[in-house]
Structure 1
């Protein structure tokens, strides 16, 4: 099989973040990488801003529009498919609200190039802007992820700043159903881990968010996340012997 050259693209799922997305795109372009904006059914103001960004940076910024809002996971799955069609080998995912430090992109890309078969996943270093409830609530997910992988290798499964190798993530998307909203980031990481994909953690500074817009629905998304953990737990049980053998054998994920 012909080896695919390392060729990363930044994919940004966008839903009504017209006030922050311009600065995020500028930070991405400063890293020297091409950018694919996935417009997840945004309203007119944001949709127009995204079209303007793509027009201002031809050859550097591409735009893919979803007419109906799919959720973050749905937008990322569409972005993965688009990236594969355009010949890229890796996708760097970053949020559209400005919470992630675009200056860390070269660090993530260098790690991905050194470990092309691994997911490079951010570990947030929060400043004072993070809501305490959100910060402490993350630990429940951390514990469930450690249970569902029988491992401590995934140190943070909720950070949306990460680099994926496209081939295994697109195989996973074709073969299994993955949550399409706020449950996506955790579920895709656990399921990739189950398939033997290594997860490498990289600290990165995170603020909350620069435009003051969050699409996290406290009730619906917490229910989705709880259901996801339940699905993953029952998916872990038949995989437990293999996961334990992997640990005992000292193999990386």
Structure 2
């Protein structure tokens, strides 16, 4: 992959970042759609099977970088590796998007426009679901929403579990360097909460999300829910010593809006 030039003040150099584990049937269309919007693509293969690896190897080009991880370590580990690689290639922002066609690629220009206008901000997808969403997954998300509002003492982040978002890489990689992030499905929520703790603003972008028929999901109801519960316990405890600072920031934002 041709490296982007080193970022400079005011430069906006985004790429798309796709973690993948065995989504061989949908990845080519996702990459093609992203390239149609002019985005270089970084794919992180999280230990996929041979059939998927063959498809991925065929996608590599000057604008599509492929990172093979030796074994399946989880979505969070793949995203961590991809963000570090994107930063080291000179990109300033990474648009995280799923490999399975769940996210609306026609919204890519909207994410990029928000990132260009607010380069230090985390741009988070706020899902608009259709009838394909499993009800148990939909209702379960509300528990996490409430926990996140408590952990950040704000309603800044509308949906912390949506994997369609634009990261400012400097701040995100600094958080990775500060302390390891979760390796699996709890990554999306924890990284967003920790970025907010360290002063990163959030903008929420409504976007259509579907659950494709016969789609391949790697969410394990028992194990991932246990991890998410442990994460919220950890984050709620981490919020307590930060509460004065978070409340002070909230007061400053209100004062700025009222001015």
TM-score (norm 2): 0.93
User: Over residues 195-239 of structure 1, what are the superposed CA-to-partner deviations in whole Å (9 max), with x where a residue is unaligned?
Assistant: 000010000000113651000000000000000000000000000
Find 1:102's aligned residue among 99, 105, 114. Answer: 105
The separation in 1 between residues aligned to 2:213 and 2:184, in whole angstroms, is 21
- Report the equivalent of 2:162: 159
Tell me by how many angstroms 1:26 deviates.
1.3
CA deviation digits over 1:59-108, x for unaligned, max 9?
12111110111211100000011101111010000001110001100100
Shift of residue 177, structure 1, vs aligned partner? 2.4
2:46 is equivalent to residue 43 of structure 1: no
| Aligned counterparts of 1:4 and 1:113: Cα–Cα separation in 2 | 9
2:191 is the counterpart of 1:188: yes
What is the CA–CA distance in structure 2 between the aligned matches of 1:67 and 1:39, rounded to whole Å? 9
Note the alpha carbon deviations across 1:112-165, whole angstroms, 9 max, x for none: 000000000000101111000000100000000000000001000000000001
Q: State the partner residue of 1:32.
A: 38
Distance of 2:11 and 2:213 partners within structure 1? 35
Count residues with an aligned counterpart: 249
Structure 1: stretches of 5+ with no match in the other structure: none
Correspondent of 1:15 among 1, 21, 31: 21
Unmatched tracts of structure 2, length 5 or more: 1-6
Picking from 113, 117, 121, the partner of 1:114 is 117
Name 2:151's counterpart in structure 1.
Answer: 148
Q: Tell me the CA shift for residue 180 of structure 1.
A: 1.2
CA contact (8 A) 1:98 1:211 kept: no
Partner of residue 59 from structure 2, selected from 53, 65, 69: 53
Q: Which residue of 2 aligns with 1:236?
A: 239
Cα 1:68–1:16 shift into 2, 3 Å:
same
Q: What's the Cα RMSD here?
A: 1.4
Tell me, what secondary structure is at the counterpart of 1:29?
Answer: helix
Q: TM-score, normalised by structure 1?
A: 0.96
